[in-house]
Amino acid sequence: MGTISTMARWIRNYHRPVMKVKHADLKRYSESDFKTICPMCEEGLLLVHRDQTTLELLRHDHCTGCAQQVYYIDSNINGEKFKEDSSHGR
């Protein structure tokens, strides 16, 4: 009874404030420059989303495991720049 269901954890974290993170400081998952371990739950992944039309990197992301939202503050990842964004991490 002490564990939180995956869906309850996902909903709780999705509504938490967005974490501003530096992608370069996150722990990598395997050999990928883009897949990182979630700094909140340390179980899920941050995959770095791309714009579906331009394929530019998007600053907003969320964990595949706990749904914590993040906003990348880096200027680029592995030389690829982020799409210009006017929301600045909400």
Contact of 44 with 38, CB cutoff 8 Å: yes
Top pLDDT among 32 and 7 is at 32
Q: What is the pLDDT of residues 19-78, one digit of tens each?
A: 999 999 999 998 889 999 999 999 999 999 999 999 999 999 999 998 999 999 999 999
pTM: 0.81
3-state secondary structure 2-48: CCCCHHHHHHHHHCCCCEEECHHHCCECCCCCCCEECCCCCCCEECC
